Chains A and B, each alone.
Chain A
């Protein structure tokens, strides 16, 4: 497989921060081959009516194999009735370093909560 782009996998670390020592250690395989199958993120619906939930990741050659491996790895005790697999490289994520600014617009809008409104006791359930 030819990887022409530097892909940010789930949990991957941007070049400019962290893991300095790690990056210095050569990540080239002793065999010189890069035969890792692609990484897939696994989402499982545990029962009808619930959302698919992220369970973890695994390697597989293709989507079919990813689904079958996910069954063996994540549903050995009937934890799932439906499996989604997504190749990790297709997941785009927000940047935790921007969290402060990114979520800031929600911070000063207390009127979005029901408890913001004082109502007389006579109005029971609302």
Chain B
């Protein structure tokens, strides 16, 4: 069958909301886009453990430690669901991980910001996970089957993440003057980077159009960002905290919140590797991989020994 014909059949399936499964024919570009996007998503989950891991031992109570530990463990799990989805597209796991370590593959820039206080853990749950969830809920309907299924599982687990974050801030916002200030300070620092998580404006986004046509994405960056702002602006009132944007106000006509312009120079700078923690994060990942080498080898040797024994028996 000529390529044009197969591509037409493929696009027809997409239009008819038939999911694409691993062994189905797909355009090379579709495969490439998914490999890039899903592996970036996986890396974000894995690198995302680092800023929070920073606070596991210092969380203010045993309860908070247990919760944070569970959340970080979930993120490891989410990374694995996504790595496994990436693998169905024909790339090896180790290759994917190498691409992260070599700096070739990207991950969400938000994780290149430091977690300075306990309130940051609350702000990450509320804002960062809140932004991620909007994106992920959209992706439960993405056209590639394994990605969509991974997203369903992730979304089920993720909602506790946002709630626990909000609750951390809620407790702080009802606390002492210092605790309130800490809460506001964390929100101030995480607000803009959270907005950046949705990526460049639709007019600037290089991948968006094609991704929408293939139904990999179903909402544009700006659309999702607006949803996020509308949601958070209301929730901030419950906390009695403010968002650090003087231009933010309800627009009756649009029935949405207006908000100020993102500092795109900062965004691109962090993407390019010049954020506050880019180097630290990658070093931590590489170190974990290198330090784990003997464990991987030992497990393999042990498995081999068991196999030999079984054969002999």
Chain B residues within an 8 Å CB radius of A118: none
Q: Determine the chain A residues whose CB is within 8 A of the CB of B303 once the complex forms.
A: 61-62, 65
Q: A48: CB under 8 A from chain B? A: no
Contacts of B92 in A (CB 8 A): 27, 36
Majority-rule SS of A interface residues: loop
Do A93 and B84 touch (CB < 8 A)? no
Of A1, A77, A97, which contacts B157 at CB under 8 A? A77
Q: Which of B70, B91, B297, B300 is in CB contact (< 8 Å) with A27?
A: B91
Report yes or no: A35 in contact with B296, Cβ–Cβ below 8 A: yes
* CB interface residues, B 34-64, toward A, < 8 Å: 35
- In the complex, which residues of chain B have a beta carbon less than 8 angstroms from the beta carbon of A108? none
Q: Give, as a whole number of angstroms, the nearest-CB distance from A57 to chain B.
A: 5
Do residues B28 and A22 form an inter-chain contact, with CB atoms below 8 A? Answer: yes
A36 touches B306 (CB 8 A): no
Contact B80–A18 (Cβ < 8 Å) = no
Instruction: Verify if B263 is at the interface (C-beta below 8 Å from A).
Output: no
Q: Cβ of B31 and Cβ of A19 under 8 Å apart?
A: yes
B200: Cβ under 8 A from any A Cβ: no
Give Cα A93 to B22, complex, Å: 11
Question: Chain A residues with Cβ under 8 A from B146's Cβ?
Answer: 11, 56
B228: min CB distance to chain A, Å: 26
Instruction: Please tell me which stretch of B94-102, B119-127, B177-185, B204-212 contacts chain A, meaning at least 4 of its Cβ atoms lie within 8 angstroms of it.
Output: B94-102
Complex Cα distance, B83 from A57, in Å, reads: 9
Whether the pair A21, B32 counts as a contact (CB closer than 8 A) is yes
B237 in the interface (beta carbon within 8 A): no
A17-B25, A22-B35, A37-B299 given as contacts; is B95 within 8 A of A57 (CB)? no
Residue from A27, A37, A58, A96 within 8 A of B84 (CB atoms): A58
In the complex, whether A13 has a CB less than 8 A from a CB of chain B is yes
> Does B88 contact A76, Cβ atoms closer than 8 Å?
no
B255 contacts A by Cβ under 8 Å: no
In-complex Cβ contact of B23 among A11, A21, A39 (8 A): A11
How many chain A residues touch B (Cβ–Cβ < 8 Å)? 37
A64 to chain B, nearest CB (A): 8
List the B residue with the shortest CB-CB distance to A59: B93
Task: Among A10, A27, A59, point to the contact of B22 (Cβ < 8 A).
Answer: A10
A30 adjacent to chain B (CB < 8 Å): yes
Are B300 and A11 touching (Cβ within 8 A)?
no
Interface residue? A20 (CB, 8 A): yes
Which residue, of A35, A58, A61, has the highest number of chain B Cβ atoms within 10 A?
Answer: A61
CB proximity to B under 8 Å, residues A54-91: 56-59, 61-62, 65, 72-74, 76-77
Report B63-98 residues with CB < 8 Å from chain A CB.
Answer: 70, 73-74, 77, 80-81, 84-85, 87-95, 98
Q: Mark A79-123, 1 if CB is under 8 A from B, else 0.
A: 000000000000001011100000000000000000000000000
Q: A73-B77, A77-B157 are in contact. Are A96 and B21 (CB under 8 A)?
A: yes
Q: Which of A37, A77, A93, A97 contacts B25 (CB 8 A)?
A: A97
A-B contact pairs, 12 of them (CB 8 A): A11-B22, A11-B90, A18-B27, A18-B31, A22-B91, A29-B94, A29-B98, A35-B300, A56-B84, A57-B87, A61-B302, A62-B307
Closest 3 interchain pairs by CB? Answer: A11-B22, A11-B88, A62-B303
